[in-house]
């Protein structure tokens, strides 16, 4: 493992400092709290949007703070959910009186800490609602597990909820579109190599030179199956089948896709995979109206990628196209 860092225990704080310095007009850093906030928060008459989780998934979540997406992102230690007091700081910083929606990925730690923060915020008279993203089809259903994990599809939820909030919708309405999105988003990932936590200093698991782990989580949690390395075409098909066979996709749907790099997979390969995914969806007679290809929700230095498929309707398609101005996603005006 080689990482460019100073003291590993300071890496999250130093990273957040670096992010703010790159875009001081957009972001404010609540030092000591791991919170990045829009400089203009709380925005008058707008529902506040907060997300967050462990660090190591950059650009998630700080890269998505800005007009049309999040109002604040809370960073925990690497792969560790942030604590309730930090989440509470974020909630307080973005509440304009119209209430706050927290977008949480379905992990025990995140859910517990966000729950506690919501209780604390409620005690201070802030209206807080929460949605839990669980797009990872690699995980068996909740009768056998904690339920499906939230992975890269979460970024689409940030996008649509952020757009709705930007349009001045009520907390109830913003929550409704977030939940509609969640019902229509599915993802699955694969790892070619493990990742290494800065403090641990050694890989989280091992893979042979010709082995891959299908169904990996974004923290290097083991997947569903270990196989030999497949071609881009076969690998895309393997993940896409699993995603597609899960509800709710049908021929004729208009869809958005994401090909998300896990940290070390070059854009060259992500684009080859994108081509294969489009071919697959064309065969299924779906029209891909929006493609996000790049790094959105990473796992430190892991090589690999995830595919996300988002079934749109008119409302969702227009929310996805709504202008956005964050470090990692910027378009429209």
Partner 1 sequence: MKVVDVKNWFCRYAEVIQEKKSFLTELDSAIGDGDHGTNMARGWKEVQTQLKAFKGGLSECFLLVSRTLISHVGGASGPLYGTAFLRMSMVLKEKEHISVEDWKELLNAGCEGIGQRGGTSGGEKTMYDVWLAVTNEAQQETGDDERSLFSRLSEAARKKVEESKELKALKGRASYLGDRSIGHIDPGSESTALLFETLDQTMSQ
Ligand X SMILES: Nc1ncnc2c1ncn2[C@@H]1O[C@H](COP(=O)(O)OP(=O)(O)O)[C@@H](O)[C@H]1O
- Is residue 113 near ligand X by the rule CB under 6 A? no
Q: Does 158 participate in catalysis according to the annotation?
A: no
Q: Residue 234 and residue 221: Cα distance in Å, rounded? A: 23
Q: Which of 7, 10, 21, 108 touches partner 1 by CB under 8 A?
A: 108
Total residues binding its own copies (CB under 8 A):
58
DSSP, res 245 = H
Sequence-ordered list of residues with C-beta below 8 angstroms from that of 241, at least 6 positions apart, any chain: none
Q: Taking CB under 8 A as the rule, does residue 200 contact partner 1?
A: yes
**CB 247 → Mg ion: shortest distance, Å?**
29
- Out of 27, 42, 76, 80, name the contact with Mg ion by CB under 5 A: 80
219 is catalytic: yes
Which residue has 């065969």 as its token pair? 283
What string marks each residue from 47 to 66 as x (binds ligand X by CB under 6 A) or -?
A: --------------------
Catalytic residue among 57, 61, 158, 274: 57
Among residues 80 and 326, whose Cβ is nearest to ligand X? 80
Residue 241 phi/psi, 5° resolution? -60, -50
Which residue among 61, 158, 219, 322 is the active-site one?
219
State yes or no: residue 227 binds partner 1 (CB under 8 A). no
Minimal distance, residue 142 CB to its own copies, in Å: 31
Q: What is the CA radius of gyration of the chain?
A: 19
Task: For 32-67, give the DSSP string.
Answer: TTTEEEETTPSPTT--EEEEEEEESSTTTTGGGBSB
Instruction: Say whether residue 295 binds partner 1 (CB under 8 A).
Output: no
Note whether 81 binds ligand X by CB under 6 A: yes
Alpha-carbon distance of 62 to 39, in angstroms, equals: 13
**Residue 217 is a binding residue for partner 1 (CB under 8 A):** yes
Nearer Cβ to partner 1, position 91 or 161? 91
CA distance 83 to 236: 37
Contact indicator for 78, 56 with CB cutoff of 8 Å: yes
Which of Mg ion, ligand X, its own copies, none binds 293 (CB below 5-8 Å, type-dependent)?
its own copies
Binding mask 147-186 for partner 1 (x = CB under 8 A): --x-------------------------------------
Give the residue among 237, 96, 98 at the shortest CA–CA distance from 174: 98
Give buried/exposed letters for 93-109 (b at 16+ CB in 10 A, else e).
Answer: bbbeebbbbbbbbbbeb
Active centre residues (catalytic)? 57, 219
- Which residues in this chain contact Mg ion in the complex, by CB under 5 A? 79-80
């Amino acid at each position: 493992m080689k990482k460019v860092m100073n003291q590993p225990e300071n890496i999250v704080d130093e990273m957040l400092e670096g992010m703010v310095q790159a875009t001081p007009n957009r972001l404010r850093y609540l030092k000591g709290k791991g919170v990045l906030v829009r400089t203009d928060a709380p925005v008058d008459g707008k529902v506040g949007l907060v997300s967050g989780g462990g660090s190591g998934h950059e650009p998630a979540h700080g890269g998505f703070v800005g007009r049309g997406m999040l109002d604040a992102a809370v960073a925990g230690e690497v792969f560790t959910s942030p604590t309730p007091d930090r989440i509470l700081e974020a909630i307080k910083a973005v509440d304009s009186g119209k209430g706050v929606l927290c977008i949480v990925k379905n992990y025990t730690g995140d859910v517990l800490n966000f729950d506690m923060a919501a209780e604390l915020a409620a005690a201070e008279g802030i209206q807080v609602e929460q949605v839990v993203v669980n797009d990872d089809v690699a995980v068996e259903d909740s009768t056998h597990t904690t339920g499906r994990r939230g992975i890269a599809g979460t970024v689409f939820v940030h996008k649509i909820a952020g757009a709705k909030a930007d349009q001045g919708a009520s907390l109830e309405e913003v929550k409704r579109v977030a939940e509609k999105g969640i019902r229509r988003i599915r993802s699955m990932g694969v790892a070619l190599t493990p990742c290494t936590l800065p403090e641990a200093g050694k890989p989280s698991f091992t893979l042979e030179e010709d082995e891959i782990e299908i169904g990996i989580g974004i923290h290097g949690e083991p997947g569903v199956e270990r196989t030999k390395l497949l071609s881009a075409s076969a690998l895309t098909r393997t993940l896409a089948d699993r995603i597609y066979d899960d509800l709710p996709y049908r021929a004729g749907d208009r869809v958005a896709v994401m090909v998300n790099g896990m940290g070390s997979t070059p854009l060259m390969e992500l684009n080859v995979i994108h081509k294969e995914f489009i071919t697959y969806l064309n065969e299924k007679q779906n029209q891909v109206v929006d493609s996000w290809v790049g790094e959105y929700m990473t796992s430190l230095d892991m090589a690999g990628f995830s595919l996300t498929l988002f079934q749109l309707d008119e409302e969702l398609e227009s929310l996805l196209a709504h202008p956005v101005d964050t470090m990692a996603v910027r378009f429209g005006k």
